[in-house]
């Protein structure tokens, strides 16, 4: 799985998890949701995301199979 797709999966999971935690545990978990959203927003302008950095360091490919970089 390439970094772009994995990033969307992780971000979606974090948003859903933090919403569930906000409902079941404490409303302050919504700050985590805001943090994820702010990172996604800024990465749209800068094309850089901390999670992408970590995924690349873990060895996940940056482009899908069959595409040139």
pLDDT (tens digit per residue) in 48-57: 888 988 999 9
- pLDDT of the residue at 66: 63
Q: Which residues contact 1 (CB under 8 A, 6 or more apart)?
A: 60
Single pTM value for the model: 0.81
The model's pLDDT over 9-66, given as tens digits with 9 standing for 90+, comes to 999 999 999 999 999 999 999 999 999 999 999 999 998 888 988 999 999 988 766 6
Q: Could you tell me how many helices (H) and strands (E) the chain has, helices first?
A: 3, 0
| DSSP letter for each residue of 32-66 | HHHHHHHHHHHHHHHS--HHHHHHHHTT--SS-TT
Domain ranges (residues) in the chain? 3-57
Whether the predicted pLDDT of 69 surpasses 60: no
């Amino acid at each position: 799985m390439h970094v772009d797709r994995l990033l969307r999966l992780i971000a979606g999971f974090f948003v859903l998890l933090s919403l569930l935690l906000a409902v079941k545990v404490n409303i302050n978990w919504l700050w985590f949701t805001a943090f994820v959203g702010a990172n996604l927003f800024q990465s749209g302008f800068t094309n850089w995301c901390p999670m992408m950095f970590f995924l690349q360091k873990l060895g996940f490919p940056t482009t899908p199979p069959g595409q040139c970089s």
